[in-house]
Amino acid sequence: MFWILTAATAFLTLASLYLAGVERAAARRRVTVDRVGRVLGAGADVEAVESILRESQSDLGNLLSGAAKRYPALRALELLLYRAGQPMTLVRLLGLTLGLTVGGAVLGLVLGYGVLPAVLGGLPFFLVRRKKTKRMKTFDEQFPAALGLFSRALRAGHSMSSALQMVGSEMQDPVGPEFALVSREISLGLSPAVAMANLQARLDAQDLPVFVTAVLVQLEAGGNLAETLDNLGEVIRSRLLFYGKVKALTAQAGASANILVVVPFAIFFVLRSMSPEFVAPMLNSLIGQYMLGAAGLMVILGWIVCRKVARVDV
């Protein structure tokens, strides 16, 4: 009973601190938006707006932003959050991870599951990475339509910046905002080559490097960019269609791999809940623990092999 009360108290405390931090961050964002609106209404320049945005950040946020420039791991986390399209900051992600890890440690002591801290602590990264994969897949699916719109705008006589802005206003997230950001960077003075390089660095889309290379070659050597984009869009559509057929044919193998990796763990937890004395020798003896670790490792390796066999790169 004592451990249950301790776990509930720790969980409620961490949840209260997290919700208080979220509310404080939301209030800070509202104040920042009001200040930026007043500054832009007075005709201020971009430097004044950037100064307000820097002031609105917390001290810990500034510290982590500075550390992210020096440490590739933190920079990779920032980039992962951006690619996932999440409004969550790096401070909030690390705080949520720490809170779930501590809560998992307390619950692990109560329930007897030593893996709970790792499972709960890794849950935010798993969800963010899943959102990133889904968003980049959506970008790849929207990309051919964006190339077609961009090509038609160039044929109609629009400049590159105007054509990018047209794509940004017509297309949905994530393609629309990204192309609009490239157009905004060019209008603020960046060269098209640098703006395109920034676009490629921000995203992890499969066909984006080919598009950026085509634009850079056109800027350096000239040529018919509209025709090149039309051909590229047609190739991407054909590849996506073929990939859909391959995915449909390999779906059964992927589903089998998922079922095979879930069943052993599910059976173990069911047996431990219904008949603890049956699995007690596996948990209390050193040989049993080694056997459980080896079995878990082999199951995971088997899942990786099955997914690798079922995966076909197109």
Domain ranges across the chain: 2-116, 134-244, 250-310
What is the C-alpha to C-alpha distance for residues 138 and 2, in angstroms, rounded to an integer? 48
40 Cβ partners below 8 Å, 6+ apart? 49
**What is the model's pLDDT at position 252?**
77
End-to-end Cα separation, the chain, in angstroms: 56
Among candidate residues 79, 204, 76, 232, the one with its CA nearest the CA of residue 136: 204
Q: How many Å separate Cα 62 from the centre of its chain?
A: 22
Q: Are 122 and 93 in contact (CB under 8 A)?
A: no
Q: How many Å separate Cα 19 from the centre of its chain?
A: 22
Class of residue 166 by CB neighbours under 10 A (exposed 0-12, middle 13-18, buried 19+): buried
**What is the model's pLDDT at position 60?**
43
Class of residue 132 by CB neighbours under 10 A (exposed 0-12, middle 13-18, buried 19+): buried
List, for residues 249-292, the tens digit of each pLDDT value. 777 777 888 888 888 888 888 888 888 888 888 778 888 888 88
**What is the model's pLDDT at position 147?**
93
What is the C-alpha to C-alpha distance for residues 106 and 3, in angstroms, rounded to an integer? 8
115 Cβ partners below 8 Å, 6+ apart? 108
Residue with the two structure tokens 């619950």: 107
CATH fold of 134-244: Receptor-associated Protein (1.20.81)
**What is the model's pLDDT at position 179?**
92
Give me the residues of the chain with pLDDT under 50, please: 33, 36, 39-40, 44-50, 52-64, 68
